[in-house]
Amino acid sequence: MKPLVSVIIPMYNAAPFIRQTIRSVQDQTVTDWEIIVMNDGSKDNSEEVVKEMMQEDSRIRYQYKANSGVSDTRNKGIALCNGEYIAFLDADDVWLPQNLEKKIAAITSSGKAWAFSLHESIDEQNKQLEVKFVNFKPYNVVDNLLLWEGDVVPGPCSNIVVRRDFIGEDIRFDKSLSSPADRDICLQLGTKGEPVFVDEKLWQYRLHSQSMTSVNFKVVDEMVRLYKKADEKGWFSSPRLRRKAMSNVSLILAGICYRFPTQRKRMAGFLLKSIWYSPFNIIKKKVVPLFKKNKSK
């Protein structure tokens, strides 16, 4: 019989966390699931950990592949899914026990096709971190993700539960993106249908030195690529929203460039773009505090 949920876990050198991550699926109140662990060419002993757990639980499946990045790995996992729903879980994140139950119930009762919730943040030692949501907007998901003016948290991907038939063949992770891949997949889903938001903290997002959220300058080029894609796909709902969104992201990228001495020569260009798209942003967004914040991290 086909499982209710297919859980895709992309894994690369995740030995310190993968056991806890898989256990968090095993501890779900929904038990009709399969786990598909996609090993993206790991060089540590994470494969041994997963194979040991497979001997104890036949619901765990395992696939090794040459390293090709997280987006391609997730896409290959989608192709192997048998469930009515697909849920994504990064190899260092943790679900709380009712994560699947409450999100599937929300999808069923709302008639919508995908769901997300709030989360807690934890460190490498599972210590809960104080992370405040800023100007949180769980509605008009495409507009708010593109505007990037506050927290919209369907991504990271560990948060998403989606009907398999909704993904179809037209929604896939963009293999040219890594850091903003989660934002991109949520934009793809959001253009097809608004999600249902579950107002509870149902999973734990791990922050550590090796996580994708440890910003590096590669994200700058990838975000430029993502917003060019948004333009080409017609994801902006109006010219006014496009100008504001492009101004916001240009300002954010200027701040990221400021953090890296080798990238600071690009900062002025992004600042000028931010002004050109919407001159009021320089005052409204308070550029100097933004740079001080980035420098202090």
Task: Give pTM, 2 decimals.
Answer: 0.91
Q: Mean pLDDT for the chain? A: 91
Q: Determine the average pLDDT of the residues in 27-32.
A: 98
Domain residue limits, the chain: 5-206, 238-296
**What pLDDT is attached to residue 284?**
67
- Res 287 pLDDT > 90: no
Tell me: the pLDDT tens digits for 185-223? 999 999 999 999 999 999 999 987 655 444 566 889 999
How many Å apart are CA 233 and CA 212, to the nearest integer? 26
CATH number of 5-206: 3.90.550.10
Alpha helices in the chain (DSSP H): 18-26, 46-56, 70-79, 99-110, 141-147, 164-167, 181-192, 218-233, 239-259, 267-277, 281-284, 287-296
If you average pLDDT over residues 33-55, what whole number do you get? 97
